[in-house]
Amino acid sequence: MHATRTTTSATPANPANPANPANPENSANPANSPAGTELAVSAEIGTWLENRSARADDWTAAELVAAKRGRTVSVVIPARDEQDTVGQIVRTVRTALVDDQPLVDEVLVVDSHSQDRTAAVAAEAGADVVAQDAVLPWLPGRRGKGEALWKGLAATSGDLVVFVDGDLYDFTADYVIGLLGPLLTRTGVDYVKGFYHRPLLEAEHREADGGGRVTELVARPLLNMFWPELSGFVQPLAGEYAGRREVLEAIPFVTHYGVEIGHLIDLVEWRGLDALAQVDLGMRTHRHQTTQALGRMSGQIILTLLDRLRRHGRMSLSVPPATLLAQFQRTTGTGGTGVERDLVLTDLTLEERRPLEAVRRDGRGSDRGEGSNRGEGSDRGEGSDGGGASNGGDSDGGARDDAGTPAEPADPAEVGDADTTPAPAADGEITERLRDTA
C-alpha cells in the first residue's frame, strides 16, 4: 500500500483570547491543545501506514517457510451453513500451503451449528472439523462468530493463528501468505489485519467498493472519534486476520460481531499501535446481509465500543446503554403494532469469553473456568438471537449473530503473555487434547 500523509492545518489559540482563560497552557503550547493532539495523531498514523502496511505479494510461500524457524501455523475457519464455499477454501490452503509449501501445519474448520453439509464438505476437502460446542464442552454454550473464533483458538496449537471467514468466493492462498508475512518477517508485530477491495453485488449492479457498509457508517466514524490512532486501518472489521498465540490467548473475545473491534481496541491499548499491522489481500467477494441484519451487527459493535470506552477509562456513562434493539419488518397484517409492521426485538447484550489463558489457568473445576462472563459461577447458556460463525466483522454476509450478558474479563495488560504454548497435536488427537486443556 502506498500511504499518503494528510495533515490537518490548525491555528494555535491566541493566549490572550478570553474564551479559554482557565487553560492558558493549551494556548501557549499548540502541542497540548486538541488541535495539536490531532496533528500528533495524524503524524503517528502516517508513520504507521508507511511502516506497518504491506501487500500480500510482498512475500512468497517459500520465503515464509524459510522464515518460520520452527514455529507452527494454524488456520482457523469459522463456518455456519457455508457448504458452497468452505470446501474450496480448505482445498486451496492444503494444496498450496501444506502440500506444495509446508507453511501451514493445521487447518481447522469450526462448524457453528450448520444445517447443511458444511462439516462434511470441509472434512472431505482435508480439514480437521470440530463442532463449536464440542470444544471445551464443560463450558456453557454460546452462539456467535466470536465464540467460534475463541473455540477455534482453543482447539488449535499453532504458534501463529490465521483466521479466515468461510464464505469467501474468491479466496486465494495469498490471503494466508499476506497475513503471515509481517508476523514472520517484521520485528514487534503481534497482530495483522487484512484489507481488500469489497464489491457490493446487488442484482446486476456491481459497485467496486460498496461492501463494508457497517465499517463506513458505524465503525470508522466511532474509531476516529474515540481511538483516532486506529483510523489508519482500511477495514477494521475485516474477518481475515492473524496473530501470535500468546497474544490472542491473553485477550477476551466478544462472542458476537463486536469481536473484531474489541480486538483492535484491546490490543492498541495493551500492545501499542506499532504492534499492529495491515496487509492488502486484493479482492474479497462474499454474500451480503440484509439491512436488518446489518442493524443488529451495528448495535453489537456500538455496545462493544461503549464497553471499551468505559473499560479503558476513556469515557464514563452515568446511564448504561439499553441493549434491546427494536426493528420493524413488513407484514400483511398490523402485527399488533398498529403500523402494519411486525415488531422484532433483539437482545444485543454484550457477552464475552475471558482470555483463554485465564480459563486454562483456572482449570475445569473452577467457577471462573466456566467463562460465562456474566459473573463468576453463572450458568447462563446460549444467547437469544441465533448464531453464525462466518461472515463476521463487517462481512455483510450470511447468518445472524447474537449476544449474551455483560462481561468483565481480565485486563489484557494485567494478564500478560502466556507462559507456554500447547504442543501440536497429531491427526485425530484434537478431541483428546481439548479434554485435557483446562
In order of their start, the domains of the chain are 1-13+25-55 (no CATH), 59-322+350-435 (3.90.550.10)
In which band, very low, low, confident or very high, does the pLDDT at 113 lie, cut at 50, 70 and 90? very high
Cα–Cα dist 160/246, whole Å: 9
Which of residues 219 and 388 earns the better pLDDT score? 219
pLDDT at 391 over 50: no
Q: What is the pTM of this model?
A: 0.75
Give the mean model confidence (pLDDT) for residues 144-171.
Answer: 96
> Which among 66, 98, 87, 97 has a CA at the least distance from the CA of 175?
97
Cell numbers placing 438 = 483446562
- The conformation of residue 321, written as its DSSP 8-state character, comes to P
β-strands 128-131, 106-111 pairing: parallel
Neighbours of 207 (CB within 10 A): 11
Q: Which pLDDT score is estimated for 317? A: 84
> Which among 141, 139, 151 has a CA at the least distance from the CA of 74?
151
In which band, very low, low, confident or very high, does the pLDDT at 284 lie, cut at 50, 70 and 90? confident
Cell numbers placing 349 = 447484550
Q: Are 404 and 379 in contact (CB under 8 A)?
A: no
Give the mean model confidence (pLDDT) for residues 84-110.
Answer: 98
Q: Which pLDDT score is estimated for 265? A: 98
Neighbours of 65 (CB within 10 A): 16
In which band, very low, low, confident or very high, does the pLDDT at 365 lie, cut at 50, 70 and 90? very low
Cα–Cα dist 150/167, whole Å: 18
pLDDT at 18 over 50: no
